[in-house]
């Protein structure tokens, strides 16, 4: 998925550069704010998780050999493969990238478990924070499973290449952000969950009845997007509560993260042939062409979060650094909009020839895109 670094090259600092800024969030008084929020998390965040009994499972969305029998399963798989045959290659590539980042789940709880106060220190803590992390992880775990099974049954993918990519991503790790402060991490995850929901939702729309006509894949992607929306709501609520409890700390944390860019996990995918950055530039162009996640989507997410957290309206409790952070945050959406317009105009003027990019995940079939 596109990151802020692709679109906004902002050099001016609005918060202290280096580690001291985010380390100031780990002092006892800042951590106490989080401790006092636990009853609120119990009442307003945990209810966004579904019980296991009420949750969908991958077997609900794909042919089940035990339920259908051998002949029925075979017929259902042939029907699935026939529908998958009409999905364009660029959408298949975006689907792989989304699946790979979902399969990298082992990395994500480890990020939350670095955090003071909110982490699950033993792996079985009974705090509301710890139960959220485990419940969220359990719901997320189904996403990679269902997408992986669909891809395996569809026959459209070189699954060994896809599986190698998953292993690379988990083994190499991700440095999505340096701060080990819940203020900073919740900004990141709220943004990332909304971006993921949009990417899956756009994919569902593009492969559905009015697009490629793959009803099974549309249902899968729409179901995953629905989960991501609930998760987005949880982290957006959490960050909104921190804006109420400590607006100066919250606005400075958001500025810190946006200034240094919010890299999606897709930025770290390594297909075994290209470096992460080299592959990511190609994937951004493919996602933009396919319409699964675009520059406009990035801008809309930032604008949405600024509205949700009422950043422009903050007036009380801001330090000088807080006011500068507020000014910085209220400018980027307009800058991104101008960059969108300039990019569009430049493409029209230059008539740049498309580049053919072979993708290992789809048996080296080339995708034609316009690279920057």
3, pLDDT greater than 70: no
**Which tokens belong to 331?**
């400018």
Distances (CA, A) of 285 to 60, 198, 354: 34, 17, 11
Q: What tens digit of pLDDT does each residue of 28-40 get?
A: 999 999 999 999 9
Question: Do 343 and 370 form a contact (C-beta atoms < 8 A)?
Answer: no
Per-residue pLDDT, 149:
98
Per-residue pLDDT, 2:
45
- Does residue 312 have a known ligand-binding role? no
- Does residue 140 have a known ligand-binding role? yes
Q: Where are the domains of the chain?
A: 4-369
* 112-121, 148-157, 310-319, 324-333: range with lowest mean pLDDT: 324-333
Question: Do 286 and 293 form a contact (C-beta atoms < 8 A)?
Answer: no
Per-residue pLDDT, 234:
98
- Does residue 38 have a known ligand-binding role? no
Contacts of 50 (CB under 8 A, 6+ apart): 139, 230
- Does residue 102 have a known ligand-binding role? yes
Tell me, which fold does domain 4-369 have in CATH? Answer: Ribonucleotide Reductase, subunit A (1.10.620)
- Does residue 303 have a known ligand-binding role? no
Q: Averaged over 276-293, what is the pLDDT?
A: 87
- Does residue 231 have a known ligand-binding role? yes
Per-residue pLDDT, 12:
42
pTM score, whole prediction: 0.91
CA end-to-end distance (rounded Å), the chain: 16
Reported residue count of the chain is 372
Catalytic residues: 56, 102, 140, 143, 193, 196, 227-228, 231
344, pLDDT greater than 80: no
Q: Provide the 10 A C-beta neighbour count for residue 93.
A: 24
Per-residue pLDDT, 331:
86
Confidence of residue 351 (pLDDT cuts 50, 70, 90): low
């Amino acid at each position: 998925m596109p990151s802020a670094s692709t679109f906004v090259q902002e050099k001016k600092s609005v918060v202290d550069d280096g580690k001291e800024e985010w380390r100031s969030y780990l002092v006892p008084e800042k951590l106490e704010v989080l401790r006092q929020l636990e009853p609120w998390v119990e009442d307003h965040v945990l209810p966004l998780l579904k019980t296991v009994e009420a949750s969908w499972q991958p077997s609900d969305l794909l042919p089940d050999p035990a339920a259908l029998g051998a002949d029925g399963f075979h017929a259902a798989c042939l029907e699935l493969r026939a529908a998958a045959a009409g999905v364009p290659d660029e959408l298949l590539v975006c689907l792989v990238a989304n699946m790979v980042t979902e399969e990298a789940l082992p990395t994500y709880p480890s990020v939350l478990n670095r955090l003071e106060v909110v982490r699950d220190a033993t792996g079985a803590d009974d705090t509301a924070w710890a139960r959220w992390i485990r419940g969220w992880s359990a719901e997320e775990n189904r996403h990679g499973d269902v997408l992986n099974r669909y891809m395996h049954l569809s026959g459209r993918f070189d699954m060994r290449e896809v599986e190698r990519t998953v292993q690379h991503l988990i083994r190499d790790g991700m440095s999505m952000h340096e701060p080990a402060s819940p203020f900073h991490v919740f900004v990141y995850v709220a943004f990332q969950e909304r971006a993921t929901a949009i990417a899956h939702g756009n994919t569902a729309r593009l492969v559905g009845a009015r697009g490629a006509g793959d009803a099974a894949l549309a249902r899968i992607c729409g179901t995953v997007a629905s989960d991501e929306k609930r998760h987005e709501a949880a982290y957006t609520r959490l960050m909104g509560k921190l804006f109420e409890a400590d607006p100066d700390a919250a606005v400075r944390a958001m500025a810190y993260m946006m200034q240094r860019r919010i890299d999606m996990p897709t930025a770290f995918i390594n297909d075994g042939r290209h470096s992460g950055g080299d592959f990511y530039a190609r994937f951004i162009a493919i996602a933009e062409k396919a319409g699964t996640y675009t520059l406009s989507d990035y801008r809309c997410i930032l604008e949405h979060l600024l509205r949700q957290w009422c950043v422009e309206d903050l007036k009380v409790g801001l330090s000088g650094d807080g006011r500068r952070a507020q000014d910085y945050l209220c400018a980027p959406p307009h800058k991104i909009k101008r960059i969108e317009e300039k990019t569009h105009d430049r493409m029209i003027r230059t008539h740049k020839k498309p580049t053919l990019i072979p993708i290992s995940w789809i048996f080296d079939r080339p995708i034609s895109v316009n690279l920057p």
